[in-house]
Structure formats: C-alpha cells, structure tokens
Amino acid sequence: MKKHIPSIQAAVVLISLITLVFCSTTTEAQVQYQPYSYQFYQKLNDSAYSTKTRFHTSIKPFLLDDSVLTAKYKSLMSYGVDTLNHHSWVHRKLFDEHLIDIKKPDYTFFADYLPDLVIGREFKESRTTWLNTRGYQVGGTVGKKFYFYSSGFENQGVFANYMDTYTNQTGTVQGQAYDRTYGTKRTKDWSYVTALISYTPVKYLNIAAGHDKNFIGDGYRSMLLSDYSSPYSFLKLTGNLGNVSYMVMWSYMQDPSSPKLSYEVGNRKKWGVFHYLDWNVTNRLSLGFFDSVIWADSDDQGHKRGFDFTYGNPIIFLRPVEASNGSPDNAMIGFNGKYKLSDQMTAYGQFALDEFEASNFFSNKGSSRNKYGWQIGIRGADVFNVKRLNYLVEYNGAKPYTYSQATSIINYAQQNEPLAHPWGANFKEIVGLLNYSYKRFDFSGQVNYGHYGLDANGLNWGKDLFKSYLTPARFDGNPADFGTRSAATTSGNFIGQGVTTNMYYAEGKVAYLLNPKYNLRLEIGGLYRRETNSLFKENTTMLSIGLRSSFRSLYNDIASYKLR
C-alpha cells in the first residue's frame, strides 16, 4: 500500500488518555468479560444500538462495565432463575447457578462443567455425525480491577462431508485448533482453549492479555478482524475517553502452511499489530479507523527477527513506520462505520484496503494489484415492535488476491485460516439472520448466497490466501517484475474468476435454555447446503439434536477452500 490514514487524532486521544491514567487513582465499576459469539451478542442489540447512547459497539468482546449493558446482561444471565422457591442442590446447579459460585467482598470465583454432546444425520452420505465435547469455564475477579477467565474443550467428532473436506485440506478444525489426526481418520480429535487476564487500573483504560479471539465491526462478518480463525496470543490496550475509544493489540500467531525451518522449531510464527480508533460523532453516527501490520518471526533462511519494537509504539497508525523501514511487511488499513436510523435499525459498513494501484483503482480494469474488501449491512432489534426479535442483512465481498502476500508467512491469516472473512478472497456473499427469544426458547434462522472462484490447474485465481499474489493467473511475467510492468499485464481479474462456484445455505435452530449462566441448552437444528460449479456438485442435508453449552462460535456456513 502507498496510502495511509492520518494519525493526529489517535495521537491526541492516547496522549490525553495517558495523562488521565496517571492523574486518576480509582475505578468505579467492576469489569466483566463476556466471550464473543454473534448468537449471544445479538441479544444485546436493543441496549447496545439504542439511539439514546453512544456505546462503542465495534470493539468486541465487550467489557461489561458500562451501565448501558450491565442491566441487560444481568437480565440475560438470570433469565428464568427461580429465587423464590428452595430447590435442591441438583436443581439449582442444573437450572439456576454456576457449578461453583463464590462471591466475597474482595473477590469472586465461578466454575462450570460444559458438555457439548450432539448427534446428527447427513442424509445424502448416509453418515451419522456426532460431537463429544467435555469442557470447562472458570472466571472471577480480584477487587474491582482484575478479571480472569478461561475455557477449555476436549473434542472428538464426525463431521458432514463438506466440513470433513475442509478440515482435511486446511489441517484445522474450523476456528478451533489443528486436527490431531492430520486427516488420517474420519473421527477428528482436537482441543480448544482460551484464557484471559484483564486489568483496569482506571475507568479510562483496560489492559488484557490472553489467548483468544477478537472482532472489529458491527456485522455478522468482519472484513477487518473476525472471530473466525483459531485463538491466538495477544496483549491488548483499550482506552475510552468519552466519545472516543482506541485499541492497540499485539499478537503472536502461527502459519503451519509455510515450510518448517526445522523439526525442533515447529510451525513458523508471525507477529501482528492492530490499531483501531472508534469515534462516536453523535448518538447515531460512528466512524472507525483501522490499521494492521503482519511480519514474520524469522525469514526463510531462519534469521530470527522476533518482535519488532518499532511497532511497539501504541500512539500512531503504523503505515508510515512500515514504509520508512523499507520492510516487506504486510500492512493494511480499513474503515468501519455505522449510523443508527432508529432504535430498531442500524446501517453499517466496512472497507479494507490491502493494496492499490492508483492509476487503475477507478478504471474497472480488474488489476490484481487493487486488493480490497467491503461490507454493507443493516441490523436491528425488536423489529415490527416484537420484543427480542432481532435481524441482520449483510452484503460482503473481496477482490481476488485480497489478504494474500508474496509469501504465506506474512499473509492475513492464523493457523491456516483467514483473520477476516472466512471465505478468504475472490467472493461475494449475501447473508440474512433472524433470531427470536420467547421465555426460555430461542429460535434462529440463517440464509446465505455465495459466489466465488476456486483455483484449478495449478493457477492462482485469487481465493487462496496462502498462494503468492505475485503470480496471478493472468500474469505470465517474472514475479520479480510484478508491479513494474504495464497495468495491462495484470488486468482482467474479477470476482468469480477461476472455477466459478455458487453456494446456497440455509440453517434453522430451536433451543430450550436450561441454565443461562453457562448457556446450557437443548438444541435441535436443520441444515441445507448446496455448492455447485462445472467440476463438482455437493448437496448436504442434515438434522441434529444435542445438549450444548458454552459461548464459543462454531461456524457451519463455510465455502470450499479449494477443489476436491
């Protein structure tokens, strides 16, 4: 990229924030952390997206110390809890309480056992699918400044055919961890662990360190940073000063697809730094500015670079620093915005700019050097004045080769999966979601249509983030000359090129909530997925039933990673 966002606003905000930190000594409210999942967070819509507040909605997970959310959150965590009658210990633990729940003036602690037991049937393949998960969550506070949380899951399962194919091709169970069977067995085996320590020295600043996921945006997907890939280690500072919220995060990630330097070293590692400035201009309008830089822990010859302290400065957007270094690092900038049309409707959008060629950016010639993604959506709560009826309609897309780099070690991915939209690049998608809660019942429905292009015959058509963007299918020159040749040699690249593929997806679920404290529920679900192109057609129809718990996100609406 050759352009950057001015950093004066961010600098002023953070300098003011640091001043306040050292001038203040107390924090007013106890901070609580809620793991992010769209299905739970959409229940906060009527509070988070009210036109009467200026709550910062685009930085997730939320820190639930804001009065805007605390009342709604507490009502969700205690919904249906019977405090009037004296029930047995078993009844209370099954329906009302944490398994262990200690509340003292100076500290709190809770712990739960999290079962996730599902059995289903994929009809076309005559395959019985199942999931056997034993999990835990623990959390608590020390005083009013420290919060800690951890969850862990030991899993075995048999997936539908398309999920099985995805896992075998990526080596990763979608969004969770690497497959310990390495694709050699139908029954997959993996672990999923998160952990976080949060410290709020003053009400203006939160410091969090952990191994988890993060999300930036107001939609179901994010073109900037999503919760799709496996958890990664990070250190995050989030400052709030009235109408401005500023986040800086440093992360440490893995790239199993890059050739290993040695058996002892293991998977190649990469670093990332992310900045996001969110400005609530009014109660209705919010503008957000994003940037990121990804760099390799060591080069292909094994020369160790480690953490680059030039990226340790939390105040400025880093594109100028990356450019002044003359480095080959992967820099990206982005924008996030929303406008609350009413209490029941919010319009939002994103734009991610990975790289652009100024002479062809507006020419519509399809230059492979113009790499960007976008999002436009509408979401709302209490639609048609029906309480707890929430909806979302969203359009996403990314040009071919977006998020890819010269080598995969610095691409925009973690553990063989995208850090932004789960479909990578070279795609367009429309998604609609509807959620309704009635007493202890939850009803959810989803429909997707996707249009994308897959690679074939060894050519790189731009969907696979782990292939070099220096060798696009329509460029027959020397990769060393990429960017120095005339624009015509890299033109003609449009969404859907390669093996043009269409996907239709529909899913519905009905759940009965047993215990809101750890989201224990009985759930019945149905799924239909059809993926078709000139080389293969795949239809999936499934039914499943299970006893489920936890707040982790599990995505079934994935597109093919590559050809069969």
Q: Model's pTM, two decimal places?
A: 0.91
**Structure-derived torsion over alpha carbons of residues 23, 28, 30, 34, reported in degrees to the nearest 10:** -80
Over the stretch 76-115, which tens digit does the pLDDT of each residue have? Answer: 998 878 777 778 899 899 999 999 999 999 999 999 999 9
Q: Is the pLDDT reported for residue 25 higher than 50? A: no
pLDDT band of 326, cuts 50, 70, 90: low
d(CA 221, CA 21): 34
Over range 55-73, report the average pLDDT: 87
- Give the mean pLDDT of the chain: 89
Name which residue leads in pLDDT, 122 or 28: 122
d(CA 487, CA 263): 42
pLDDT (0 to 100) of residue 259: 86
pLDDT (0 to 100) of residue 6: 35
Over the stretch 493-530, which tens digit does the pLDDT of each residue have? Answer: 899 999 999 999 999 999 999 999 999 999 999 999 99
Q: Is the pLDDT reported for residue 336 higher than 90? A: yes
Over the stretch 263-272, which tens digit does the pLDDT of each residue have? Answer: 778 899 999 9
pLDDT band of 538, cuts 50, 70, 90: very high
pLDDT band of 425, cuts 50, 70, 90: very high
Over range 194-201, report the average pLDDT: 95
pLDDT (0 to 100) of residue 12: 38
Over range 177-206, report the average pLDDT: 94
Q: Is the pLDDT reported for residue 277 higher than 50? A: yes
pLDDT (0 to 100) of residue 85: 76
pLDDT band of 127, cuts 50, 70, 90: very high
pLDDT (0 to 100) of residue 323: 57
User: DSSP secondary structure string, 225-238?
Assistant: B-S-SPPEEEEEEE
pLDDT (0 to 100) of residue 483: 63
Over the stretch 371-413, which tens digit does the pLDDT of each residue have? Answer: 999 999 999 999 888 999 999 999 999 999 999 999 999 999 9
Task: Flag the least confident range among 309-318, 327-336, 375-384.
Answer: 309-318
pLDDT (0 to 100) of residue 388: 92
Over the stretch 99-108, which tens digit does the pLDDT of each residue have? Answer: 999 999 999 9
Residue 521, phi then psi, degrees to nearest 5: -155, 155
Name which residue leads in pLDDT, 259 or 127: 127
Name which residue leads in pLDDT, 370 or 451: 451
pLDDT band of 52, cuts 50, 70, 90: very high
Q: Is the pLDDT reported for residue 11 higher than 90? A: no
Residue among 213, 268, 224, 551 nearest 416 (CA)? 268
Helices (H), 123-188: 161-170
pLDDT (0 to 100) of residue 147: 95
Name which residue leads in pLDDT, 120 or 13: 120
The angle formed by the CA atoms of residues 440, 446 and 447, to the nearest 5 degrees, is 165
Question: Three-state DSSP class for 48?
Answer: helix
Q: Is the pLDDT reported for residue 23 higher than 90? A: no
Q: Is the pLDDT reported for residue 18 higher than 50? A: no
**Structure-derived torsion over alpha carbons of residues 391, 397, 403, 405, reported in degrees to the nearest 10:** 170
Q: Is the pLDDT reported for residue 16 higher than 50? A: no
User: DSSP secondary structure string, 310-372?
Assistant: GG--SSS-SHHHHHHTT---EEEEEEEEEEEEETTEEEEEEEEEEE--GGGTTTTS--TT-EE
Helices (H), 78-129: 89-95
Over range 13-42, report the average pLDDT: 62
Q: Is the pLDDT reported for residue 63 higher than 90? A: no
